[in-house]
Amino acid sequence: MRRHRASSSARRSRGAALLIAMVLLTLVATLAAGMVWQQYRAVQVEAAERSRTQATWILNGALDWARLILREDARTKGPTALTEPWATPLAEARLSTFLAADRDHNTDSDLDAFLSGSIVDLQSRYNLRNLVEGNQIAQQEVAALQRLCEAANAPTDTAARIAEGLRAAWAGGADALLPPRTVAQLQWFGIDPAVLERLEAYVVLLPVRTTVNLNTADVEVIAAVSPGLDAGAAQAIVQARQRAAFTTVDAARRLVSSPTLLDPKNVGVASNYLEVRGKLRLDERALEERSIVERRGLEVVPILRERVASVVVDR
């Protein structure tokens, strides 16, 4: 009997020890798996941060390169036209091709980066800042915007709502909205984002009043800011500038029936505000940035910079 009890007690002890060992093994395995997961996540976060930093520096370089091109263009002190080097977009190219001339650069690097970009003359569009003079809405400017809204197939009240919203925002007050800085932010006034997306091809929002550049603007914009000028005359202006850029407004006036149709208050031949877009495809991510720059003599100053998109590229 005593031997039976001792044997039973020994089996229970071995069973308890085995159970404890299994629990400890499970606990250790769980802790180890958790540590491996944390380490994996840390590596992923570090890699993402490294890619973000690399992308930021590369896009900074792209912006600086665009500013250099615009500064060199300003040295000519001529008109701003689509025949100039800045107007040629940069097709997507492997970044290493830009660095091939650098002997210290290792072109066999595993950095899989592709860069593309473009520069757009923002004064080729109608400036919504022109809608308000002082604290009053300029009705002639609203009429110009209305013509562009019709071209963009926008609702009939869009121009009036934008003008009143901008007047109220810039006037301030307890109930006023923050002044928008981009066309997309006009949805704060209740404008449909789809309408704004169509309208953005014709309008822009800049910090000061500007003229429309006859050397870069579309037919619709030229006709909209020139009351009495029909689409045919505007098309003649666009065709003529393809042969040679207008150096003065008077040069364009020779193409229309009356010189008063092209008012220097509304149109010009040079631009100080341009948009620089840079897109970087780095490993599995694509980042795009948009910058608005102002030319102040030979100085090119960024006044707005924003990330347009950051997406994961399917492979």
Residue 235's contacts (CB-CB under 8 Å, 6 or more residues apart) are 219
Collapsed DSSP state (helix, strand, coil) of residue 213? strand
Collapsed DSSP state (helix, strand, coil) of residue 215? coil
Position 61 scores a pLDDT of 79
Whole-angstrom distance, CA of residue 310 vs CA of residue 63? 17
Whole-angstrom distance, CA of residue 169 vs CA of residue 41? 45
CA atoms within 13 A on the CB side of 101: 1
Alpha-carbon radius of gyration of the chain? 31
Whole-angstrom distance, CA of residue 4 vs CA of residue 42? 57
CA dihedral for 171, 177, 180, 186, sign (positive or negative): negative
Give the mean pLDDT per block of 10 residues along the chain (315 residues). 59 73 82 79 67 72 88 91 93 73 52 85 97 93 96 95 94 78 93 95 96 97 94 94 94 90 95 93 82 94 84 57
Position 181 scores a pLDDT of 92
Position 112 scores a pLDDT of 73
Q: For the purposes of burial, counting CB atoms within 10 Å of the CB of 117, is it exposed (0-12), middle (13-18) or buried (19 or more)?
A: buried
Domains of the chain: 45-123+272-312 (3.30.1300.30), 124-268 (no CATH)
